[in-house]
Amino acid sequence: MKIIADAHIPFLKGVGEQYGEITYLNGNEFTRETIQDADTLIVRTVTHFGEEMLEGSKVKLICSATIGFDHIDTAYCQAKGIRWANAPGCNSGSVQQYISSALIEISRIKSFSLEGKTIGIIGVGNVGKKVAKIARLLGMKVLLNDPPRQRAESGNEFTDLDTIKREADIITFHTPLTKAGQDKTHHLADEEFFATLGKKPIIINTARGPIVETVAIKNAIRQGKISGAIIDCWENEPNIDLEYMKMVDIATPHIAGYSADGKANATRMSLETLAEFYGLDKTPILKINIPEPESPTIDLNSFPADKRIYHALLHTYSTQADNDRLKANPQNFTYFRERYPLRRENIAYNVINYLPQEKEILQDWGFRL
C-alpha cells in the first residue's frame, strides 16, 4: 500500500510504516501530482481535499488526524467512492485542559472569581461536554446550547441562544464550522450577536476561526460590548488580523487541542480506520508511545494555601507562554503549530500531599493520586 502522510502528524513515523510505504509531505506539498498514486492519505486541516486535488487519483481512503472535516469535500468523496474519516473527540481532553487554564488566567487578569459566574457553552459535543464538567468543578453555573442535540433528545438540558446572550458572563464556542443550513455556524458571532448581548461577556473561541466574525468582534471590543476575549482559532489562518490579535486578552496559535495525548489519540484513530478499511492487524498501533512530562509529580505543599488545585492545573499547562510567543512573533503562527512543545494532560501527572477535601476534585480533574 502506498500512503502519503502529513509530515507533522506526531507519533506516526515508525508505526505507520507497518502498514505500507509512506511518503511524508509538508501540508503545502500535497498537490494533485504528488498524491496521484497514493492509496491512502493521512492528513491535517491545512490542505483542502476535493475535486481539484483528488480527480484522477488512486486514493481510496482519507484519514484526517483532526476532529474537523471541513477541509474534506465529503460530497465529492462520497460520489467517487472515496472513504473518509476524521477523529472525533480525539483532542477533547486537550481543549478541556486549555479552557481550564484560560479561565483561571482570565480570572486573574480581570480580577474576578470564577465561582458563581455563568458560562454559556455553544456546542455540546465531545469537547463541550468536557468543558461543562470543568466549569462545574470551578463552581460556575452552566448554560448549554446545542440545537441539533436539543431537537434529537428529550429533556430540558439545553437552552436557547438568546438566553445565553442575556445571562452569560462567559461565552465559549465548541461547534463545527457549517456554512449553510438550519444550524449554520459561520459568523454565528456577528454584529447582531454582539449587539444583542445582555451582559459584557468574555468570548472564547477554540472551535473554528470563522465562527466569530473578525470585524464584528473588533467592534465589540472597541465599543465595550464584551469585557474580554480568549482566541485560539482565527479567520484566514495563518495570516491572522494583527490588530485583532493585540486586542484580545489571550491569543494562541490554534493549539488548544495540541496536547501530546490528543495528538496521539488522533494518530491512533487514523491508523485504526486504515486497519479496519483494509482488514489489517491493529497490533502495530500499540507501539504509539507518549513521552512523560518533564516534571510529572505535583506537590501541593509547594503552592500557596489558597486555590492549590488552580496551581496544580497551571502546572500542567498555562496559556500564557503560548500567548506571549504568538504576540511577540505572529509571523511564526505556522511554525508554532508545527513545532509545538510537549504538553501532557492531567492524567500524566501524579499529585502528592493533597488534603482529604481535595482528593475527589483532583480525581474529577483526571490527576493520578
Q: Which amino acids are annotated catalytic?
A: 208, 237, 254
Beta bridge partners of 40: 3, 61
Residue 171 Ramachandran class (φ > 0 left, ψ -120 to 50 alpha, else beta)? beta
Q: Give Cα separations from 17 to 20, 127, 214, 275 (angstroms).
A: 5, 31, 42, 12
How buried is 248 (Cβ within 10 angstroms: 0-12 exposed, 13-18 middle, 19+ buried)? buried
The answer to whether the CB of 92 falls within 8 A of the CB of 256 is no
Pairing of strands 61-64, 40-43: parallel
Alpha-carbon distance 247 to 229, whole Å? 8
Provide the edge-to-edge strand list for the sheet that holds 40-43.
Answer: 21-25, 2-6, 40-43, 61-64, 83-85
The DSSP call for residue 235 is T
The answer to whether the CB of 346 falls within 8 A of the CB of 97 is yes
The grid coordinates listed for 200 are 459584557
Alpha-carbon distance 363 to 360, whole Å? 5
Alpha-carbon distance 244 to 218, whole Å? 6
